């Protein structure tokens, strides 16, 4: 394992930074941590991503699965450790906060045709497959205790049912509904909500969080028969892919391993076994699927082991054995 860590430290600055903080547990005051974070903030890919977010919220949302959506790029930035205090980020935060709905979640520009239950016109709206992720990013950026952010979180939590969170959209989207039965849970919405709730100890131990985690694990256990909203947990689901954008093995593992009550669950262990079967002899992981929108990043290829994927896999596996 030491050799893998040494290899990770030779990767891009943002991989080195997260390796030092999350895997090696070096303090923020460490000269090496400070230096790696400074290098990350100077990395052209990172600075260009921040610059791109200056146009928030970007184009009309057509597909939540599109890895080019700005809220997905924002989520990657907060995962590597970007905060609102970093250069160029405060204006992005201000733009997000300026588009809060009356209910609480923050809006994105959307357009739903009348055929699918919308008005056919562009409007500011939110859905359970984007709102939790924006709130998650704001929390990671340092706004978790902001009353505006807390209002959004408190509105979304009670939408949960005993089988997780359903497909839910704001009133601006009319009767829009995803391709599933109304009494089914939406796997991706449930995953996004669990990701959000994992950040706060109060939310993480709530009954809603337990319902959501149990739902996703049940879907894995019964993956051959249950496919709500056309979300499958088969071959494509199990392909390793970063950054975490959609509903796949690595994303589900990253989220549920944040819940100590489920770390010894046989269903989670079964998912972890799939991940543990994939590294090479040196403990490095290679992408099995890639997002075209991220082709310029080191994880935009499937030919050689990926630093970021390897870091993510090791972090997840390490966390799964923790007792906190």
- DSSP structure string for 268-314: HHHHHHHHHT---TTS----SS--GGGTTSTTS-SSS--HHHHHHHH
Cα–Cα distance for residue pair 228/100, rounded to 1 Å: 30
Mean predicted confidence (pLDDT) in 54-62: 79
268-287 confidence digits (pLDDT tens): 999 999 999 999 999 999 99
171-197 confidence digits (pLDDT tens): 887 776 677 788 999 999 999 999 999
16-30 confidence digits (pLDDT tens): 999 999 999 999 999
User: How far are the Cα atoms of 42, 200, 212, 226 from residue 209, in angstroms, in the given order?
Assistant: 37, 11, 5, 21
Instruction: Answer yes or no: is pLDDT of 111 > 60.
Output: yes
What does DSSP assign to residue 108? E
Cα–Cα distance for residue pair 227/186, rounded to 1 Å: 10
pLDDT at 19: 98
What residues have CB less than 8 Å from 143, skipping those under 6 apart?
84, 93, 97, 149
69-109 confidence digits (pLDDT tens): 999 999 999 999 999 999 999 999 999 999 999 999 999 98
Handedness of CA 298, 302, 306, 312 (dihedral sign): positive
| Least-confidence region, from 46-50, 118-122, 234-238 | 118-122
Instruction: Answer yes or no: is pLDDT of 112 > 70.
Output: no
- Name the more confident of 228 and 276: 276
pLDDT at 119: 57
Beta pairing partners, 123: 110
List of E strands, the chain: 108-110, 123-125
pLDDT at 123: 81
Taking alpha carbons only, the member of 312, 223, 314, 316 closest to residue 269 is 316
pLDDT at 120: 63
pLDDT at 173: 76
């Amino acid at each position: 394992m030491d050799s893998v860590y040494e290899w990770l430290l030779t990767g891009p600055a943002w991989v080195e930074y997260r390796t030092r903080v999350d895997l090696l547990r070096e303090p923020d005051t460490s000269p090496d941590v400070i230096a790696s974070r400074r290098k990350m903030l100077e990395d052209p890919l990172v600075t260009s991503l921040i610059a791109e977010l200056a146009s928030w919220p970007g184009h009309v949302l057509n597909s939540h699965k599109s890895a080019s959506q700005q809220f997905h790029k924002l989520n990657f930035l907060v995962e590597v450790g970007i905060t609102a205090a970093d250069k160029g980020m405060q204006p992005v935060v201000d733009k997000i906060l300026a588009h809060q709905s009356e209910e609480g979640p923050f809006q994105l520009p959307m357009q739903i045709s009348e055929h699918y239950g919308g008005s056919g016109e562009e409007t500011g709206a939110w859905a359970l497959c984007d709102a939790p992720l924006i709130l998650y990013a704001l929390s990671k950026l340092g706004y978790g205790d902001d009353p505006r952010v807390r209002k959004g979180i408190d509105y979304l939590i009670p939408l949960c049912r005993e089988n997780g969170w359903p497909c839910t959209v704001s009133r601006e989207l009319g009767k829009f509904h995803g391709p599933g039965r109304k009494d089914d849970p939406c796997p991706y919405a449930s995953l996004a909500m669990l990701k959000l709730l994992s950040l706060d100890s109060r939310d993480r131990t709530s009954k809603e969080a337990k319902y959501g985690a149990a739902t996703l694990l049940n879907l894995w256990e019964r993956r051959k028969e249950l496919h709500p909203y056309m979300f499958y947990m088969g071959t494509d689901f199990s392909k390793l892919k970063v950054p975490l954008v959609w509903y796949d093995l690595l994303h589900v593992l990253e989220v549920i391993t944040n819940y100590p009550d489920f770390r010894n669950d046989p269903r989670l262990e079964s998912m972890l076994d799939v991940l543990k079967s994939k590294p090479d002899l040196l403990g490095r992981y290679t992408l099995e699927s890639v997002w075209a929108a991220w082709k310029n990043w080191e994880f935009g290829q499937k030919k050689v082991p990926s630093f970021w994927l390897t870091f993510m896999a090791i972090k997840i596996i390490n966390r799964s054995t923790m007792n906190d």
